[in-house]
Structure 1
Amino acid sequence: MRLLFSTLLALCIAAVVGVGTTWLTTTRGTELGTLTIGPWTARPWIGGPDIDPYSRATIIRNGDLPIGAGDGIAFIAKRDGRKRLLDGRCDVLVSGVTPPARFWTLTLYDNKGRLVANSLQRYDFTSQEIVRNSDGSFAIHIASRARAGNWLPTGGIERYVLMLRLYDTPVGVATRSPRDAPLPTIATVGCP
């Protein structure tokens, strides 16, 4: 009887630990194969056949549709260059250049992965419509109130996430440093 009780207890503990760690990794993600450049983070393996099982489970759980490994890469940013959370009540400036890519998009999402609601129904910029400086660089203002030039409205939400998708680009698994992939900087320039 004691052996049966010990076995059942061990199985229950193993099941709780297994289900708990699986839930944690699918909700919070893992750092397996993560590429970090400044405030931007990407997982180049996520759209390919060599994806780890935890990332696969996260994709299934969230219903995400990742970019294929041969098609491009997606970087996300939840913080600015000083590690401060992106706040929709503050003015944030995304500026600089992007790595070589046939096409790119910069999209504003809330923390649940939904487009940020705003009266203009403006959610993103693309490489084809952005207004650039004479040297090829750009500046995008992300703020709750209108700004001159490239402006993405936040609707005043408290937290948001930026996603930069690069299509048909050499940036990927072999990328290791900002020199390999010059990503735009993110700076909080004003906060009430």
Structure 2
Amino acid sequence: MRLILITLLALIVAAGIGLGSTYVAATRGTNIGTLKIGAWTARPRNGTSDIDPYNRATIARSGELPVGTGDGIAFTAATDDKKKPLDGRCDVVISGVTPPARFWTLTLFDSKGRLVANSLQRYGFTSQEIIRASDGTFEIRIASRSRAGNWLPTGGIERYALMLRLYDTPVGVATRTQRDAPMPAISTVGCP
């Protein structure tokens, strides 16, 4: 009797650990094939047939349609360059340049992957509507209150994430460093 109880307990613990790790892998993905440059993270194999099974499960669960490898790449950031989480109550500045691409978009999402609601219905910028300096650099300010220039409203939410999609770009599976793909800097400059 004691052997049966110990066996049942072991099976229950094993099932709990197995289901728990499967849930974590399917909701958060894995770092297999991940490209990390500064605060930006991409999974260049997500749009290919070479995608690993864990990221395939994450995409199936979220319903996301990944950018195909021939079309471009998508980078996400949930922290600034100093690893501080992006907070909608603070002023965050994205500055610099993007890697070469025919077209890019920068979009603001909440922690559940939805567009951040705001009264202006402004959710992001494209490479064609951004105001740039004479040297080609840009600065985007993300804040809850209106700012001059390139400004994205956060609606004051506590946590958010950014997605930078590069279309028709050489950045991809072979990219490894900031030198290969100069990503814009993300810095928190003011917090009430």
How far apart, CA to CA, are the structure 2 residues paired with 1:139 and 1:3? 66
Give ranges in structure 1 of 5+ residues lacking alignment.
none
Give ranges in structure 2 of 5+ residues lacking alignment.
none
Q: Alpha-carbon deviation of 1:20?
A: 1.8
Q: Alpha-carbon deviation of 1:162?
A: 0.5
How far apart, CA to CA, are the structure 1 residues paired with 2:96 and 2:183? 7
Q: Deviations over 1:159-188 (max 9, x none)?
A: 110000000100010001000000000011
- Is the counterpart of residue 44 in structure 1 residue 32 in structure 2? no
Amino acid at match of 1:106: L
Within 5 A, what are the aligned runs for 1:59-70?
59-70=59-70
Amino acid at match of 2:126: T
Amino acid at match of 1:162: L
Aligned length: 192
How far apart, CA to CA, are the structure 1 residues paired with 2:74 and 2:165? 4
Q: Deviations over 1:69-110 (max 9, x none)?
A: 111110000001111110101111100000000100000000
Which residue number in structure 2 is paired with residue 138 of structure 1? Answer: 138
Q: Secondary structure at the match of 1:17?
A: helix
Within 5 A, what are the aligned runs for 1:109-148?
109-148=109-148
Which residue number in structure 2 is paired with residue 29 of structure 1? Answer: 29
Give TM-score scaled by structure 2 length. Answer: 0.94
Within 5 A, what are the aligned runs for 1:88-167?
88-167=88-167
Amino acid at match of 1:133: A
Q: Alpha-carbon deviation of 1:5?
A: 7.0
Which residue number in structure 2 is paired with residue 188 of structure 1? Answer: 188
Q: Secondary structure at the match of 1:95?
A: strand
Q: Secondary structure at the match of 2:131?
A: coil
The percent of aligned pairs where both chains have the same amino acid is 73
Q: Alpha-carbon deviation of 1:13?
A: 4.4
How far apart, CA to CA, are the structure 1 residues paired with 2:85 and 2:119? 24
Q: Alpha-carbon deviation of 1:18?
A: 2.3
Q: Alpha-carbon deviation of 1:19?
A: 1.7
- Is the counterpart of residue 84 in structure 1 residue 84 in structure 2? yes
Q: Deviations over 1:137-169 (max 9, x none)?
A: 100010011111100000111111000000010
How far apart, CA to CA, are the structure 1 residues paired with 2:51 and 2:3? 40
Q: Secondary structure at the match of 1:94?
A: strand
Which residue number in structure 1 is paired with residue 53 of structure 2? Answer: 53
How far apart, CA to CA, are the structure 1 residues paired with 2:8 and 2:122? 56
Amino acid at match of 2:20: G
How far apart, CA to CA, are the structure 1 residues paired with 2:8 and 2:70? 47
How far apart, CA to CA, are the structure 1 residues paired with 2:81 and 2:3? 57
